[in-house]
Structure 1
Amino acid sequence: MATGSIPAVAYFSMEICLEEAIPTYSGGLGVLAGDTLRSAADLGAPIVGVTLAHRKGYFRQHLDADGVQTESAWNWNPETRLPPVPHAVTVEVEGRPVRVRAWRYDIRGVSDHVVPVYLLDTDLPENSDYDRSLTDTLYGGDNRYRLCQEVVLGMGGAALLAALDHDGQYHINEGHAALLCLWLLDRRLAERGASVSEVGVDDVEAVERRCIFTTHTPVPAGHDRFPMALVREVLGERAALLDSAGLWEGEELNMTRLALRCSRFINGVALRHQEVSQEMFPEFPIGAITNGVHATTWTSAPFRDLFDRHIPQWRRDNQYLRYALTIPLDDIREAHAAAKQAMLDEVARRTGQTLDPKVFTIGFARRSTPYKRADLIFSDLDRLRSIVRHVGPVQIVFGGKAHPRDEAGKFLIRRVHEAAHALGDALRVVYVENYEMQLGHLLTSGSDVWLNNPMKPLEASGTSGMKAALNGVPSLSVLDGWWIEGCLEGTTGWAIGPDAKLPQDPSQDIPELYYQLERVVLPLYYGLPYRYAEVMRNAIAINGSFFNTQRMVSQYIQNAYAPGGSSPALLTASR
């Protein structure tokens, strides 16, 4: 479907990864948002992005020799980087007016189409010190700060777009921006001259017709909830909209349920995640559009050059990556060797530790939180030592931040360091601090295998393995999230565990991981290097050609944005 036939779409996300020097993201959600908008620009889609300026960023991570994490602010000044938007708006927070301005960042696509991103900012002299800080810190502060911040994002963002004459659809990327639904409901009442007490089903349905909601969180505890008393204090008179429209969940405001109730199209971010989400929210029809990554952003320079030579159409149409099957294996191996050396050079520069390019290198980098189980591979150090002695040498590169208040996540980083000290030279382990976009690019392109072992079913999708696939790096992963769809055993990579069902005992993943390393992956890498290169090439051709945001955004355009697009229920039934 031609993108010109869809109404304009405003894509709201609490975090959007634009570039390394603008720290407005923490991890997967923000990187996905940035990749989504980059592909929208490539496709010429009429989309704008809305997020917060996050002047203090997420944080800079510092690790000592024992893996103890400390943090510092990652300050940046939009004034020195971006042009201002010539409009400012006012939102009411706790009964007082808060002025909101915005900065504009332009994403230019392959055909020069521009997707503007508006970064909302309350750091204005007319605001109080507290209000000036509301757009400072990503995922910082207490419940009150977070709710005030979500007022700025949802209501302030909607008000700004109205000032810019946006009159289209709203795509809510996770529940943080769900308060834009209340702004739309309030405006609907104003247009028909009705009072808050006169909210009807037609009013909620009018909002519903304009909203699309993507949920990313597969566990109930991960959805933003705010107590009723706090919501009434922060929203003031607008809280009455929640009363009259019946949008409370008991004595709380559940931001996910608010978005679900006010959206006509709802999707999870992988087939398995759709199933989990449908179980959590059975009263709403939830479909699936599996995530992707922006191919040209996450493909390393050696592989970009390789694809340009062999598949010149790949940048314009990522499906052409299917023809990577025709690239000679020696060319695949040569490009990977160059990407691997670039990664090892940067690891040495950042850590002072030199790793061997001839040694099988495992990459593991993502947010450090318990369910991702960064320390799983170190469950039996004697078994690891035996594998290395009898099959071949191994080295592991880690990266990932723990949220400043996630003590269990910080403990995992220390556990990795403890294992590194215990293993010594028997198996080199390096943890690179301050995992950000550039380091993620290097690790996903330079590792020999990408390890992912979350606790099922807590990986909604995951995208780092998709980045790896674009660079010919196979995954060794638990069957959860996207990997259920992407794993062709021994062809695109390898599974940890026999199927995607929930295990009776998650610790069984440990012997499965060791078995795959000892009996399958390492013998292939060291004993049959060209057979291993075939797996690398398949990862590009099969997974790289599908798990990209060009395909993903095209699905949103056809099924969610276009008038008369398929309903989530039909999408689910069709599979």
Structure 2
Amino acid sequence: MNPYSIYTPQDRKVAYFSMEVGLQPEIPTYSGGLGILAGDTLKSFADLSVPAIGVTLLYTKGYFHQEIDSDGNQIEVPVEWDPSNFMTLLTEKVTVDIEGRSVLVQAWVYPVKGITGYTVPVLFLDTNLAANEPEDREISAYLYGGDERYRLKQEVVLGFGGAHMLQILDHDNLQAYHMNEGHAALLTLELMDRYQQDLDKVKALCVFTTHTPVPAGHDTFDVDTVRDVLRDRFHFEDLGHSNIIDTDGRLNMTYLALYHAEYINGVAQKHGEISQKMFPEYRIDAITNGIHIRTWICDSMAAVLDSHIPNWRQDSYALRNALDIPRVEIWEAHQAAKRELFDFIEAQYGISMDPDVLTIGFARRAAAYKRATLLLRDTERLKKIASRSGRLQILYSGKAHPADAEGKALIQEIHQAGGQLNDDIKMVYIPNYDMYRAKFLVSGVDIWLNTPMRPLEASGTSGMKAAANGVVNFSVLDGWWIEGYIEGVTGWSIGPRRVKTETGPAIHDVRETSAAYDALDADDLYGKLEHQILPCFYEDRSRWMNMMAYNIALNGSFFNTHRMVAQYVLEAYFQ
């Protein structure tokens, strides 16, 4: 019996391709927001009985386990995990041509089970087979590891291999191939060959979501490298248009996806506008990201919701009724989550935190444009604010990409700032930020801080997770927060609403431009922290509890993947 048949009770209509997918902490096939969004999307597919199938890579050695030494240096430790503990290995195999060799690809299937029992299968592609050459067995080993050639080989497996695997598993009635970022764009070349270069047919099948205005977020590959890796599958004469091959002689995967997709979207309303300016020759829509609510709401808050809104897991929009919940119940549920977070920190790191003290959380990928150290720009002013307006605690977490020297330097800078704060403000950097630690943080802190350079925060789903748990956001007006904030009601903004950093079809490297705003943003951050946030927390608890309820009701009920998936179904998949 084919084990795959257990998970395919009906035809699939949507194939969802993503370079990374985060489904549970023990499966290390994600690095951050992109993968978590993919996992949350697949969970909502299952909850809503959308006939979809996911396609990604297995990554037998994961991303990496992060440790931080006493000097603040990030240390990357390989991840060891056994996919057979979580997935079923299929008997079917396909081959892809890489550098003139036939590389065998197998697939593991993971069933994502919805709340009503409907199941969405996720295929994890794997080249670690004895029949392959040693270097080819490593193609699916590391997430975002290796050099440019290694990355291109992975995208060959995802795009060509994923499309082949779906075909031999008899998914011939697919109506949409959804590319979650440009990593899967090579599947469009497979579809073009399959449909005899019928561009209109391929465009009608393809959906493309772009996630970032940061140039580094758009994969490009040297054309000579592409020719060597893809050989007969790459036809330069067919791609020398529409910026697919740029002026530097590089294959741009974003433009490859744009050219072959009929429906294209950004991941927030602002990001859609920015993307339209970046790619003016294409129509860019916007579907704002969301989170899978029942994955991210903590147990104590879920218990309160169960007693007042029993259908919230099935109907995320029902969370609007959180306004009817007695505020003290929301507060007590949050305090329980806060104590659980602090118990975890004490058990893991031997550091004691005070649950009665306002606690700020900042947890996301350590990248320069996210400005993790903006809060620490003037540590002396920060200490004075805490001493005058009330006590303060700060929790940081986040991994830097192994090749990102700037990101690693940020972690060191935070570590050094912690020493400068001494005992005036207790600050902890929690290593190895993952789904497990994220759930503790987004539900247990009091303020969720986000300080990116505008307009580089495409969405920002961690803030949505915090809001759904009643945690108040304090964020730069970028990404989702432009849509989710009501000043003094759901949280507070940082700095001005608009910053001119985009010109024409591309986004500049905004660091020089943004530097002029760092001081302005930091001053606004410190001012609101001292004169509004700390006084509200310590002196007007009833207002604070109201803000918690408004976050669950207004933001939790909208910024979720149930709403997001419904939009994709209506606007992109089945038009």
Would the TM-score normalized by the shorter structure come out above 0.5? yes
Conservation of the 8 A alpha-carbon contact between 1:6 and 1:562? no
Aligned match of 1:548: 560
Question: Post-superposition, which runs of at least 4 consecutive aligned residues in structure 1 deviate over 6 A?
Answer: 4-7
Q: Residue 435 of structure 2 aligns to which amino acid in structure 1?
A: M
Conservation of the 8 A alpha-carbon contact between 1:242 and 1:248? no
Q: How does 1:389-538 map to 2 (within 5 A)?
A: 389-502=387-500, 505-507=516-518, 508-538=520-550
Aligned match of 1:220: 215
More off after superposition, 243-252 vs 109-118: 243-252
Aligned match of 2:382: 384
- Structure 2 residue runs of 5 or longer lacking an equivalent are 1-8, 502-512
Residue 300, structure 1, aligned to residue 298, structure 2: yes
Distance (whole Å) between structure 1 residues aligned to residue 335 and residue 254 of structure 2: 45
- Displacement after TM superposition at 1:562 (Å): 1.2
Conservation of the 8 A alpha-carbon contact between 1:61 and 1:401? yes
Aligned match of 2:4: none
Aligned match of 1:101: 106
Conservation of the 8 A alpha-carbon contact between 2:11 and 2:171? no
Aligned match of 1:572: none
Conservation of the 8 A alpha-carbon contact between 2:192 and 2:199? yes
- Displacement after TM superposition at 1:428 (Å): 0.3
Q: Residue 537 of structure 1 aligns to which amino acid in structure 2?
A: A
Aligned match of 2:51: 46
Q: How does 1:232-381 map to 2 (within 5 A)?
A: 232-240=227-235, 243=238, 246=241, 247-250=244-247, 251-381=249-379
- Displacement after TM superposition at 1:26 (Å): 0.1
Check 1:241–1:110 CA distance in 2 against 1; reply closer, same or farther (3 A cut). farther
SS of equivalent residue, structure 1 residue 477: strand
- Displacement after TM superposition at 1:222 (Å): 2.3
Distance (whole Å) between structure 2 residues aligned to residue 451 and residue 153 of structure 1: 35
More off after superposition, 287-296 vs 217-226: 217-226
Structure 2 length as normaliser, TM-score?
0.93
Aligned match of 2:507: none
Distance (whole Å) between structure 1 residues aligned to residue 27 and residue 498 of structure 2: 37
Residue 208, structure 1, aligned to residue 194, structure 2: no
Q: Residue 185 of structure 1 aligns to which amino acid in structure 2?
A: M
Distance (whole Å) between structure 1 residues aligned to residue 570 and residue 34 of structure 2: 22
SS of equivalent residue, structure 1 residue 118: strand
- Displacement after TM superposition at 1:242 (Å): 5.8
- Displacement after TM superposition at 1:241 (Å): 6.6
Check 1:296–1:513 CA distance in 2 against 1; reply closer, same or farther (3 A cut). same
Aligned match of 1:37: 42
Conservation of the 8 A alpha-carbon contact between 2:239 and 2:245? no
Aligned with residue 186 of structure 1, among 193, 196, 206: 193
SS of equivalent residue, structure 1 residue 442: helix
SS of equivalent residue, structure 2 residue 221: strand
Residue 176, structure 1, aligned to residue 183, structure 2: yes
Check 1:166–1:5 CA distance in 2 against 1; reply closer, same or farther (3 A cut). closer
Q: How many residues align?
A: 548
- Displacement after TM superposition at 1:248 (Å): 2.9
Query: Which whole-Å deviations, capped at 9, do the CAs of 1:10-29 have from their partners, x for residues lacking one?
Result: 00000000111110000000
Distance (whole Å) between structure 2 residues aligned to residue 440 and residue 221 of structure 1: 25
SS of equivalent residue, structure 2 residue 195: helix
Conservation of the 8 A alpha-carbon contact between 2:144 and 2:151? yes
RMSD of aligned Cα (Å): 1.5
Q: Residue 194 of structure 2 aligns to which amino acid in structure 1?
A: R
More off after superposition, 405-414 vs 249-258: 249-258
Check 1:267–1:150 CA distance in 2 against 1; reply closer, same or farther (3 A cut). same
Distance (whole Å) between structure 2 residues aligned to residue 10 and residue 230 of structure 1: 28
Query: Which whole-Å deviations, capped at 9, do the CAs of 1:416-466 have from their partners, x for residues lacking one?
Result: 111111111100000010010010000000000100000111101010010
More off after superposition, 94-103 vs 77-86: 77-86
Distance (whole Å) between structure 1 residues aligned to residue 283 and residue 185 of structure 2: 18
Conservation of the 8 A alpha-carbon contact between 2:418 and 2:427? yes
Aligned match of 2:5: none
- Displacement after TM superposition at 1:6 (Å): 11
Conservation of the 8 A alpha-carbon contact between 1:7 and 1:561? no
Conservation of the 8 A alpha-carbon contact between 1:484 and 1:500? no
Distance (whole Å) between structure 2 residues aligned to residue 220 and residue 443 of structure 1: 29
Conservation of the 8 A alpha-carbon contact between 1:182 and 1:241? no
Distance (whole Å) between structure 1 residues aligned to residue 565 and residue 296 of structure 2: 17
Query: Which whole-Å deviations, capped at 9, do the CAs of 1:155-207 have from their partners, x for residues lacking one?
Result: 00000000011121200000000000011111122xxxxxxxxx5xxx12211
- Displacement after TM superposition at 1:220 (Å): 3.0
SS of equivalent residue, structure 1 residue 209: helix
Distance (whole Å) between structure 2 residues aligned to residue 249 and residue 235 of structure 1: 18
Check 1:244–1:494 CA distance in 2 against 1; reply closer, same or farther (3 A cut). closer
Conservation of the 8 A alpha-carbon contact between 2:12 and 2:53? no
Conservation of the 8 A alpha-carbon contact between 2:396 and 2:429? yes
SS of equivalent residue, structure 2 residue 423: helix
Aligned match of 1:566: none
Q: Residue 238 of structure 2 aligns to which amino acid in structure 1?
A: D
Conservation of the 8 A alpha-carbon contact between 2:321 and 2:553? yes
Conservation of the 8 A alpha-carbon contact between 1:204 and 1:245? no
Distance (whole Å) between structure 1 residues aligned to residue 269 and residue 499 of structure 2: 13
Q: Residue 181 of structure 2 aligns to which amino acid in structure 1?
A: E
